[in-house]
Amino acid sequence: MDHRLPATPKLAREFSELFVNRRAYTIQSVRPHTDSGRHYYYRPKSKDGGRSTGLSLETVRQHLAGELTIGIYAINPATQRCKWMAIDADYKTALEDLIKVQRQLRDDGIEAALEKSRRGGHLWIFFEHPVLARDARIYIYHVAGKLDVQVKGAGLSDGIEIFPKQDELRPDEFGNAIRAPLGIHRGAREGRGWRYWYYGADYALADQLAYLRRLPKVKEQHLQLMIAGKTIPPEFDQRGRRAEVPRYFESKPGEFRILDYVEVRRQVGRNWVTRCPSCASLGHDKSGDNLAVSVEEPRKYCCWAGCTREMIRAALGRPIAARRLA
Ligand SMILES: [Zn+2]
Residue 164, pLDDT > 80, answer yes
Residue 247, pLDDT > 60, answer no
Q: What is the pLDDT of residue 287?
A: 84
How far apart are the CA of 273 and the centre of ligand 1, in A? Answer: 12
How far apart are the CA of 284 and the centre of ligand 1, in A? Answer: 8
Over residues 93-115, the pLDDT tens digits come to 999 999 999 999 999 999 999 99
How far apart are the CA of 247 and the centre of ligand 1, in A? Answer: 22
How far apart are the CA of 69 and the centre of ligand 1, in A? Answer: 24
Over residues 258-311, the pLDDT tens digits come to 888 888 878 877 888 899 999 998 888 888 889 999 888 888 899 988 899 999
The pTM of this model reads 0.74
Over residues 173-217, the pLDDT tens digits come to 888 899 999 999 888 888 888 999 999 999 999 999 999 999 999
Q: Residue range 227-236: average pLDDT? A: 86
Residue 325, pLDDT > 60, answer no
Question: Across the strands, what pairs with 315?
Answer: none
How far apart are the CA of 40 and the centre of ligand 1, in A? Answer: 16
How far apart are the CA of 66 and the centre of ligand 1, in A? Answer: 29
